[in-house]
A and B are shown apart, each in its own frame.
Chain A
């Protein structure tokens, strides 16, 4: 089966600019996650979707971050405006059901200058 697809692979933007990341989960996977991985740290959950509904967004900085999952398939994560501390790898993952095993994408490496 095809893996979790993410794009772009790399992105460099200036602070205060906007950026969007895209994720296409494994076909049939109902649960989708966005994680932020700052250099030198482990990934931290930003938001979890079950189909197109949000299950957990308690760690999402809602003043600048937003995410949606239209039609319960693809998802986009947006940052507006970006700050220097948003420089990180943004990992998307999906699972077949809520307590299922994860499959991660290759991530998007964001650099904010």
Chain B
């Protein structure tokens, strides 16, 4: 079974509008972390935001916020006030902490295009 599912291959958003990128996850580990990364055409993976499974509040980092719904196993990324530079691939990833390993399981990504 897929540990991370991103159902939106591509999304379009008007500049200055907000957009939500969906992510659902599957794990039986009670202790896990969820990540969002941005991958521009240059190829590097840029860390955006992190949510721990025991965090009580949704994570926020500037224009990025994570809508964490634990019971639904979803961790959607919300980008507010979209900018042209936000056009990129976005990946949701999960780390299962109880195993002691630190490898990340990634989804297939969502390509976001910001329209001027």
Contacts and interface: CB of A to CB of B under 8 A. Distances in A.
Nearest to B101: A56
Interface string A33-57: 1000000111111001000000110
A33 B47 contact: no
Contacts of B4: 42
Interface size class of chain A, counting residues whose CB lies under 8 Å from the partner chain = 20 to 34
B59 interface: no
Contacts of B103: 33, 45, 48, 56
Interface in A93-112: 93, 95, 98-107, 109
Interface residues of B, number: 22
A89 interface: yes
Given A42-B108, A102-B47, A106-B43, 19 more contacts: A33-B103, A40-B108, A41-B108, A44-B106, A45-B104, A48-B103, A55-B101, A56-B101, A91-B43, A91-B45, A93-B45, A95-B102, A98-B102, A99-B102, A101-B50, A103-B47, A106-B42, A107-B43, A109-B43
What are the 5 tightest A-B residue pairs by CB atom distance, in nearest-first order? Answer: A42-B106, A104-B45, A45-B103, A106-B44, A107-B43
B97 A105 contact: no
Interface of B: 4, 37, 42-47, 50, 91, 93, 95, 97, 100-104, 106-109
Interface of A: 31, 33, 40-45, 48, 55-56, 89, 91, 93, 95, 98-107, 109
A111 B43 CA distance: 15
Contacts of A100: 102
A42 B44 CA distance: 13
Contacts of A89: 43
Contact of B100 (A91, A93, A98): A98
